[in-house]
Amino acid sequence: MSYYFLCFLFLSSLTNVSGEEPYMIRILGKPGKVKTSEAMNISWMDCLTKCRLDVDCSAVYKLSDVQCQYFSFGSISTLQKADFQNDEIAVKIQISQDQCPTSNPLIPGPNYYTQIINGQFYMSSVSPYSLSNNIYNLTYSVATCPNNTKLFQRGETTKVCIGLFFFEDPRCNNQAAASALCKAQNGTLTGPANANEYEYIQDISNSSKYSSNPDSYEYVTYWLDGAGTNTAYTFEDTTHDGTTNYQWAEGVTRSKGAGQCLHNPNPLYFNISEYPCTATFLTKAVCWRGALCQVPPIIETY
């Protein structure tokens, strides 16, 4: 099958969550299974440009030099390969390199296009149909986080919802209770996987002193992922790359000792620290108020 590529400069107003740029990949093909589409009276080049910059566009089909068929998110589920030069279709995917590839990036697939729109994670994928060499499948999903959590992407397709979860009775509790609190939400304890996550974690943790501190402790802190074993920390969540992106309180001991667990923020330095896993509160000074959890998003497929 013939194929060729068209590359555009990345537009900074797009909310790109994977760190890769969207490309329109043009192939000899035509629409297969379609729910809805829109005919546009614009040139083929303008149609390609419009789709690339439109977060809701998944593919476009050339009807003529001055008209195209426009497919929004979820509206087309298969593409069919074609042998005629006038059957030209383009699908939007993300590519990590900064120039067009020299071989067909749709094979072997899958390839993805991801966007965060209004706090929801939109993902479309393109892959060859396993039962036919002449068909590509397109699939779509939308991930939404539960209340009081925020969506983050880790890696190409991993999505997590991060938030603070609070102990109820007693309101200050230990690391084992924090782990159980996350598991009750079908999640785990977690930690920051990058600088953006760390900034968010600090913001919600520090502000909770005023919004979620009914017993008026001087400091409130939260258990996060990491428990010592004498030689290393062990983690419940494998998607945040251990302590790579943890920012430590100045001068604190990182013994990794058995019975030592990690929490954030440190009452004195507002960064991550280590403390005995059995701690619950220190008089009226410090309360281990809950847990930093990652919980699965609610995913709707199309």
Q: How many CB atoms lie within 10 A of CB 246?
A: 20
pLDDT at 65: 93
Check pLDDT > 60 for residue 8. Answer: no
Check pLDDT > 90 for residue 296. Answer: yes
Residues 6+ apart with CB under 8 A from 16: 10, 22, 94, 114, 115
Return d(Cα 70, Cα 61) in angstroms, integer. Answer: 7
How much is the average pLDDT of 19-25? Answer: 71
Do 247 and 264 form a contact (C-beta atoms < 8 A)? Answer: no
122 phi/psi in degrees, rounded to 5: -100, 130
pLDDT at 119: 85
pLDDT at 3: 42
172 phi/psi in degrees, rounded to 5: -120, 130
Length of the chain: 302
120 phi/psi in degrees, rounded to 5: -110, 145
Do 134 and 80 form a contact (C-beta atoms < 8 A)? Answer: yes
Do 291 and 222 form a contact (C-beta atoms < 8 A)? Answer: yes
Return d(Cα 122, Cα 143) in angstroms, integer. Answer: 7
Return d(Cα 86, Cα 176) in angstroms, integer. Answer: 64
Sketch the domain layout of the chain as residue ranges: 3-144, 150-298
Return d(Cα 105, Cα 83) in angstroms, integer. Answer: 19
DSSP per residue, the chain: --EEEE--PPPTTS-BSSS-EEEEEEEEEEE-SBS--EEE-S-HHHHHHHHHH-TTEEEEEEEETTEEEEEETTSB-EEEE-SSTT-EEEEEEEESSSS--SS-TTSS--EEEEEEETTEEEEEEEEE-TT-TTEEEEEEEEEEPPTT-EEEEETTTEEEEEEEEE--SSSS--HHHHHHHHHTTT-EE---SSHHHHHHHHHHHHHHHHHS-TT--SEEEEEEEEEE-SS-EE-S-TTS-TTTT--BPTT------TTEEEEES-TTTSSBEEEETT--EETTTEEEEEEEEEEPPEEEE-
How much is the average pLDDT of 5-11? Answer: 36
Q: Classify 259 in phi/psi space as left (phi over 0), alpha (psi -120 to 50) or beta.
A: left
Return d(Cα 89, Cα 205) in angstroms, integer. Answer: 49
> Out of 35-39, 180-184, 251-255, 279-283, which region has the weakest mean confidence (pLDDT)?
251-255
Averaged confidence pLDDT in the chain: 87
What token pair was written down for 220?
Answer: 């409130």
How much is the average pLDDT of 126-134? Answer: 85
pLDDT at 67: 97
Q: What is the pLDDT of residues 190-208, one digit of tens each?
A: 999 999 999 999 999 988 9
Do 23 and 93 form a contact (C-beta atoms < 8 A)? Answer: yes
Is 150-298 CATH 3.10.100.10? Answer: yes
pLDDT at 100: 61
> Out of 7-11, 240-244, 245-249, which region has the weakest mean confidence (pLDDT)?
7-11
Q: What is the pLDDT of residues 70-111, one digit of tens each?
A: 999 999 999 998 877 778 999 988 776 655 666 666 777 788
Return d(Cα 171, Cα 215) in angstroms, integer. Answer: 9
pLDDT at 96: 65
Sequence letter at residue 125: S
